[in-house]
Amino acid sequence: MNTLRNKVQLIGRLGQDPEVITFKDGNKMAKFSMATDDSYKDKEGNKVERAYWHNIVVKGGLVTVVENYLKKGLEIALEGKLTNRSYDTKEGEKRYFTEILANELLMLGNKQ
């Protein structure tokens, strides 16, 4: 059961072209947003659709795939784990982020 802890699987579309950051040591990291869709029927029976946005981070060798092949609108499946980080603003406020650190990625289709 340990393999099921902190495991996220999503299918959705990229909301933007990935941003690739190269560090001084030559390592790279990619970031992008991804939308997943959900729908349900309200009390009146009307279909309600909603998009959920996720912040995705990719490190290691998978960055090359992201950098060369992923573009805004592309549908992908990914697997990873939830991570949290925080920072302090100039005004002294603490900001929190939840991100998904992707470790597997599959391209599902072309931009519609």
Cβ atoms of 8 and 77 closer than 8 Å: no
The domain in which residue 21 lies consists of 2-39+47-109
Neighbour tally for 64: CB within 10 Å: 13
How many domains are contained in the chain? 1
Cβ atoms of 33 and 52 closer than 8 Å: no
Higher pLDDT residue, 4 or 90? 90
Tokens of 94: 């603490």
Pairing of strands 47-59, 94-109: parallel
| Residue closest to 32 by CA, chosen among 18, 52, 20, 21 | 18
**52-83 pLDDT, tens per residue?**
999 999 999 999 999 999 999 999 999 999 99
CATH of the domain at 53: 2.40.50.140
